[in-house]
Chain A
Amino acid sequence: EAGVVQSPRYKIIEKKQPVAFWCNPISGHNTLYWYLQNLGQGPELLIRYENEEAVDDSQLPKDRFSAERLKGVDSTLKIQPAELGDSAVYLCASSPARGASSYNEQFFGPGTRLTVL
């Protein structure tokens, strides 16, 4: 079974430029997550999708960040314009669990390492 796929793996851009990250979750997984991981920190949730609906985007900086998950499968996270502080790893995860269960195992992709110069 293929895992979560993310691209690109690395991206270097200049500040004020736009950037987009793509994620393909594991087939059949309804729930998709985007996380931000700063150096030396654990992942922090940016947005969670249930199928194509964003059900939790409270941590997404909406002035410059946007996300979409068309048709409830692939997802794209965009930053426009990028700032120096956006340099981090952006992780995508998916989960087959749905409903009220504390067993919420998430399967992670390899991440996209963004460097803003």
Chain B
Amino acid sequence: AQKITQTQPGMFVQEKEAVTLDCTYDTSDQSYGLFWYKQPSSGEMIFLIYQGSYDEQNATEGRYSLNFQKARKSANLVISASQLGDSAMYFCAMSGYSGAGSYQLTFGKGTKLSVIP
């Protein structure tokens, strides 16, 4: 069974500063994927970034980067140059094999990020 842990219920960051959102995971699978989603108050889950378990380089997408430390089973999200529009809930998720040739997402409880002007 897969498990995702996000230990920060809420975080504050000053506009234009960088912030790190923590995520640790637990799995016995060798092949898995790690995702970060953003959920603004409108409710829609927005895909931000993906890291495969076999990827040796940390994933980056614009201002988002994923600090992947496989031995520590952590996949922290780093947001650089925070903007007011970054205020939202952030969810870490892991895709694990669920049988029948398919993968399934397991989500953490999320971290609420507030960007201060």
Give chain A's interface residues, CB within 8 Å of chain B: 3, 31, 40-45, 48, 50, 55-56, 89, 91, 93, 97-111, 113
Bound form: Cα–Cα A111–B103 in Å: 22
Bound form: Cα–Cα A7–B44 in Å: 13
3 shortest interchain CB distances as A-B pairs: A42-B107, A102-B33, A108-B45
Residues of B within 8 A of A3 (CB): 44
Bound form: Cα–Cα A66–B20 in Å: 40
A110 pairs with B105, CB closer than 8 A: no
Helix, strand, loop or mixed for chain B's interface? strand
B91 pairs with A42, CB closer than 8 A: yes
Bound form: Cα–Cα A111–B37 in Å: 15
Given contacts A41-B109, A42-B110, A105-B35, contact A100 B101 (CB under 8 A): yes
